[in-house]
Amino acid sequence: MNSDLENKLNQLSDIETDDFLELAKIAGMNPAKDFVGADLSNVNLEGADLKEFDMSYANLSNANLSNADLSYADLSSCDLSYADLQNCKLIATKFYDADLTGVKWGDSNRSSAKFYGAKSDFPLGGSEAKSSLYTDNVRQADAKYPPISIQEEFSSE
């Protein structure tokens, strides 16, 4: 976490609320933009409205984002390892080059989400996804079944 952000958050320790976004606003921050590259590991943002937020390059490992609305958010190059994204709205969310190892997806809505270059320990298609839109752009680290290219299969004939 950058020192300016850390100083602002330390000043808020006497305020009696546990709402992370409310604290950020009281500190004069714009939560939609000021968390790029921030260390938000283990943060509780359950049910938060994070639509269109730019949290690219942030560390959100072990974060609780369940029931949050992250539609159109930019989570590119984020560390989301072991984060809880159950029941989230992830419509058109960008996960480019994100670490999605151990993410709990539950019944999240990933309609039109973008996973190009994302690292995952399971295929985002199949039983975890509502459609096959996700499988084309996912690098599946240590996946049981590596992706194949149909074009390669037929070009050898």
If asked whether residues 110 and 47 sit together in one domain, one would say yes
If asked whether residues 21 and 45 sit together in one domain, one would say no
Q: Is the pLDDT of residue 133 over 80?
A: no
Q: How confident is the model at residue 57 (pLDDT cuts 50, 70, 90)?
A: very high
If asked whether residues 24 and 81 sit together in one domain, one would say no
Sign of CA dihedral 54, 42, 92, 102: positive
* The residue to which tokens 């390059």 are assigned: 57
- Per-residue tokens: 107: 């019944």
8 Å CB contact between 31 and 53: yes
pLDDT of residue 8: 65
Q: What domain count does the chain have?
A: 2
pLDDT of residue 124: 62
Q: Is the pLDDT of residue 99 over 80?
A: yes
If asked whether residues 18 and 72 sit together in one domain, one would say no
If asked whether residues 114 and 124 sit together in one domain, one would say yes
If asked whether residues 39 and 14 sit together in one domain, one would say no
pLDDT of residue 142: 36
If asked whether residues 26 and 82 sit together in one domain, one would say no
What is the amino acid identity at position 47?
Answer: G
For residue 78, give its domain range.
32-157
125 compared with 123, residue with greater pLDDT: 123
In degrees and rounded to multiples of 5, residue 42 shows phi and psi of: 65, 10
pLDDT of residue 58: 97
pLDDT of residue 17: 73
Q: Is the pLDDT of residue 80 over 80?
A: yes
If asked whether residues 61 and 91 sit together in one domain, one would say yes
If asked whether residues 42 and 69 sit together in one domain, one would say yes
DSSP codes of every residue in 44-110:
B-TT-B-TT-B-TT-B-TT-B-TT-B-TT-B-TT-B-TT-B-TT-B-TT-B-TT-B-TT-B-TT-B-
If asked whether residues 57 and 118 sit together in one domain, one would say yes
Residue 38 to residues 16, 45, 56, 58, 69: CA-CA distances in angstroms?
23, 14, 9, 5, 19
If asked whether residues 116 and 87 sit together in one domain, one would say yes
8 Å CB contact between 23 and 43: no
Percentages of the chain per state (helix, strand, coil), in multiples of 5:
20, 15, 65
8 Å CB contact between 12 and 23: yes
| CATH code at position 84 | 2.160.20.80
If asked whether residues 40 and 83 sit together in one domain, one would say yes
